Chain A
Amino acid sequence: MASLRNGSTKSLFKLREIKFTMLFIDGEFVDSVSGRTFETIDPRTGEVIARIAEGDKEDIDLAVKAARRAFDHGPWPRFSGAERRRLMWKFADLIEEHVEELAALDALDAGKVYLRAKTAEIPGAAEFLRFFAGAADKIHGEVLKMSSELQGYTLREPVGVVGHIIPWNFPTTMFFMKVSPALAAGCTMIVKPAEQTPLTALYYAHLAKLAGIPDGVLNVVPGFGPTAGAAICSHMDIDYVCFTGSTDVGRLVMQAAAASNLKQVSLELGGKSPLLIFDDADLDTAADVALLGNLYNKGEICVASSRVFVQEGIYDKFEKKLLEKAKAWLVGDPFDPTVRQGPQISERHFDRILSYIEHGKREGATLLTGGKPIGDKGYYIEPTIFTNVKEDMIIAKEEIFGPVMALMKFKTVEEAIKSANNTQYGLAAGIVTKDLNVANTVSRSIRAGIIWINCYFGFSMDCPYGGYKMSGFGREYGLESLYKYLQIKSVVTPIYNSPWL
């Protein structure tokens, strides 16, 4: 039985046992071929939660064999869209039935705020499944307008066996963001959850089976990047790999895909997203948006608004408000319902963030607030804000992936746009203004895949998001993301005596 540590006694949920710790291949929970296991850690304390079977190349091979058989010969792609929809809805229902246990697992494994997991992230998983389930029977090709006596149409066919490599920051959201459209499209798949956060992925495998997803369609192989992840990227019999993670690893993924069987790749990578606050913005709202943009999920989110640019006119008032709110931001045990920020994911990441903070100080930025770890156990870091940041500083250029904001000033719209685009990344951006024309001009001028105006993290099922520039390519969410898992086949036949062309 896990006990409470490092926080208040107001915790809402006690986890009794970790039920699923083995690889899920071809409908069964099995040990890894090597027999090896690895630890998954509780970031509140640094202690071990459980030992999980460690997948490697041989296990990936088995999973691919199962997925290949399920695709080439099994029922899943041969089901009607409605039949896949039915099973996906069942899966969604089962997730809702187990919401508390799942939320606790994510809170435990990833240091995520329990209440948020329970009321938003886990129900969000069910929502992904339901949204894409509803699209499964609406996948259209087109009849073409041929310029000679030919009948031509396109079929959108499932691409085949897909490898999903998902990160640790949103174990549940990432799982269903990728799995749902791939299932709806009729593909079969292998999911490699991050080694830091394997627990909910294995639970979802169990629920998938309960829901009636046929064996081999959804396989889950926890393991490490350089072993299991690499095996997926370079597998000769995987048709598509969908990766979310760091830009550096994204490079390795794409190279391995190219060196092996030229499988298609989509990458959702890092970001250093700008938030531009114009001087007609409401101060309170702006400060809230800026803080949330940096501290949500302890800053471990690719679209974090880690560069905040505030127009001169309101800068001083804004900085004061921001500081107030930052000091009132509660950090602690994610099971405590009053807490807004849990621990960072791991010791390694904790160290990395602290080292960036040191960089910031050395580079000459001003530490406005925060900058220090909290407590002696676990990986808690204070909300941290740097001012007097120059755009060539490391803390303004590199993705820190923690609760660290770089706060800067600007004069004109043109300056703001130039600064916003002064990055190798292009994932998201935020604009806070009441002015219609500023909103329109600036949203068109920033080279990023999703622009939030007077809001941040405005995600919705139907709204595609993904990278420009070195933040990657391909889109998640929305019907756009379905097309990743489909390929276009054109079929052409001559026609005779057609009364029209």
Chain B
Amino acid sequence: MEGSLSNGSCKSLFKMPEIKFTKLFINGEFVDSVSGKTFETIDPRTGEAIARIAEGDKEDVDLAVKAARQAFDHGPWPRFSGAERRGIMLKFADLIEEHAEVLAVLEALDAGKLHSWAKMGDIPGAANTLRYYAGAADKIHGEVLKMSRALQGYTLREPIGVVGHIIPWNFPTTMFFMKVSPALAAGCTMIVKPAEQTPLIALYFAHLAKLAGVPDGVLNVVPGFGPTAGAAIASHMDIDKVSFTGSTDVGRQVMQAAATSNLKPVSLELGGKSPLLIFDDVDVNTAADMALLGILFNKGEICVASSRVYVQEGIYDEFEKKLVEKAKAWVVGDPFDPAVRQGPQVDKKQFDRILSYIEHGKREGATLLTGGKPIGKKGYYIEPTIFTNVTEDMLIAKNEIFGPVMALMKFKTVEEAIKSANNTRYGLAAGIMTKDLNVANTVSRSIRAGIIWINCYFAFDSDCPYGGYKMSGFGRDCGLESLHNYLQVKSVVTPIFNSPWL
């Protein structure tokens, strides 16, 4: 079945795929929701429905938890050796690669993400993440302790149990595997609630998990809405841990629900208003490219976006000029068009929200350097937008917009830059551009954020933990650190007698 092209060139390679998986995946089966309800998932290029998906609610989460609990308490998954879990995870990764074409299309379609990027980055990245954690599954160590009296003590790092993953819509694939992979490696079982905007690929991954041999009940996928399915997970009495990525406001609700229910530990990866500090010893062209990518990558729908850009006085004017040039040349359009660099925003709600922030910016007295308007009449496309003459108390400098909107500001000294960088309740990421070793070291230590990129941005890596300081959350994803989210420490102590040493 061929979808028609809208809002882009005819160079599109896109054919609307058959949407094979539209039901909840519980205990190894695709099933309707208990209520029988379904919801639409929308194509952000056009605002039209792609498919109807089964809508999970509390009763469905209950069934999924029952299955996951059975699988954890009595099933083979935690009882497999690390090597056996590794084998199945590697098979899963292979299957992802075999299905890469259709997966890349689903990712781009559901979330408005660049198809070329999904194909070269997000989908292979998923396989990579699985392989990274698969290789760690048989290397999860406890410690033998140095007891101060005649006792033998050691710690075991045990899988924490049934995990709830609540994932956002901006990186449906990356988020899925960033959380599922370490939890699988640790021997946990889980329920994933993908965002209601982007359920398609999560259900496909459930299908591949089954093909790979992941036992029934280990990985359950229940699409649905936050206030229903998400809330049911956060407040479930039999879920041992919740891992949430999303907005700060919902993060609050997740943590509160966890507290009022069974005091399950939570990890939260929330919003950001990350600063990019550009010192005057850098190449202006490179800096402008970096700044633009920092705010326009994935149409600005990325928690670590460098939405506040501070440029040192000495190069400011030249930088601003270069930036506007590049912004005007930035192609926005159909994400299936290989020439396009920015697709549509994920849905109408986000689209409206971003435009309303742009209006705020104008009202607050910032100068609209470029952009600021929607593109076309169909879908949710917005021009790359840059505000200058922004003061730090403006809403557009304080609130996370989550769209292609940059606040561009000036600074004089290193101290000023640090102060401005830290002048936010968030603390997710930061970028520093300089050739000076000492500036790089001092500033990277002084900014209170969980990941600092020096002369680069979005430099993620399987082995590199990332997460929030301050109100950007706590807990780390990626790297071996994130395994700790899914393990708990048990100490075992026994008296010893006649030991020749202590």
Residues of A near any B CB (own CB < 8 A): 127, 144-148, 150, 152, 154-155, 157, 239, 247, 250-255, 257-259, 261-262, 264, 267, 269, 424, 439, 443-444, 448-455, 458, 460-466, 468-470, 472-473, 475, 478, 480, 487-494
Contact = CB atoms under 8 A, between A and B. Distances in A.
A346 B153 CA distance: 35
Given A147-B462, A455-B495, A261 B263 contact: no
Interface in B440-463: 440, 444-445, 449-456, 459, 461-463
B491 A450 contact: yes
Given A147-B462, A259-B256, A462-B145, A453 B494 contact: yes
Contact of B459 (A150, A444, A450, A466): A150
Given A154-B481, A460-B145, 14 more contacts: A147-B462, A253-B259, A261-B425, A262-B252, A451-B490, A454-B495, A475-B489, A488-B450, A488-B476, A489-B469, A492-B452, A493-B453, A493-B456, A494-B455
Contacts of A448: 490
Given A147-B463, A491-B452, A470 B262 contact: yes
The list of the 3 closest CB pairs from A to B, nearest first, reads A258-B255, A254-B259, A473-B265
Given A250-B263, A470-B263, A489 B488 contact: no
B439 interface: no
A470 B241 CA distance: 11
Nearest to A428: B491
9 contacts: A152-B463, A154-B481, A261-B470, A450-B491, A461-B148, A466-B489, A488-B465, A488-B481, A491-B451
Contacts, number: 183
Nearest to A151: B454
Nearest to B264: A473
Interface string B233-274: 000000010000000100111111011101101001010000
B64 to A, nearest CB: 20
B141 interface: no
A453 B476 CA distance: 34
A419 to B, nearest CB: 15
B463 A145 contact: yes
Nearest to A267: B263
B433 to A, nearest CB: 11
Contacts of A466: 489
B260 A463 contact: no
Given A251-B263, A458-B151, A470-B262, A494 B491 contact: no
A52 B204 CA distance: 64
B464 A258 contact: no
A144 B255 contact: no
B491 A255 contact: no
B155 interface: yes
A489 B255 CA distance: 23
B255 A455 contact: no
A275 to B, nearest CB: 14
Contact of B454 (A251, A468, A493): A493
A20 B57 CA distance: 57
B452 A462 contact: no
Contacts of A480: 155, 489
B120 interface: no
A144 B248 contact: no
B256 A146 contact: no
B49 interface: no
Contact of A462 (B148, B259, B476): B148
Interface string B214-243: 000000000000000000000000001000
B474 interface: yes
B440 A493 contact: yes
A452 B151 CA distance: 10
A446 B469 CA distance: 35
Contacts of B211: none
A343 B489 CA distance: 34
Contact of B471 (A247, A254, A261): A261
A492 B270 contact: no
A453 B449 contact: no
Contacts of B453: 492-493
Contacts of B490: 448-451, 468
A192 to B, nearest CB: 19
Given A255-B256, A490-B465, A458 B493 contact: yes
A251 B145 contact: no
Contacts of B479: 144, 154, 490
Nearest to A444: B156
B467 interface: yes
A300 B473 CA distance: 35
Contacts of B155: 463-464, 480
A493 B441 CA distance: 11
B255 A254 contact: yes
Interface string B33-70: 00000000000000000000000000000000000000
A454 B496 CA distance: 10
A264 B148 CA distance: 31
B483 to A, nearest CB: 13
Nearest to A150: B459
Contact of B467 (A152, A254, A460, A488): A488
A460 B158 CA distance: 21
Given A490-B451, A491-B454, A492-B459, A455 B494 contact: yes
B459 to A, nearest CB: 5
With most chain B CB atoms within 10 A of its CB, the pick from A239, A449, A460, A491 is: A491
A148 B153 contact: no
A144 B491 CA distance: 28
Contacts of B454: 491-493
Nearest to A253: B259
B466 interface: yes
Contacts of B262: 424, 469-470
A154 B480 CA distance: 12
Nearest to A443: B492
Contacts of A454: 494-495
B258 A155 contact: no
Given A148-B461, A475-B489, A247 B469 contact: no
A488 B145 CA distance: 24
B153 A463 contact: yes
A250 to B, nearest CB: 6
Contacts of B151: 455, 458, 460, 463
Contacts of B265: 473
Nearest to B144: A462
A311 to B, nearest CB: 19
Contacts of B488: 449, 468, 473
B414 interface: no
B363 interface: no
A454 B492 CA distance: 11
A466 to B, nearest CB: 7
A452 B270 CA distance: 39
A452 B493 contact: yes
A247 B263 contact: yes
Interface string B179-215: 0000000000000000000000000000000000000
A255 to B, nearest CB: 5
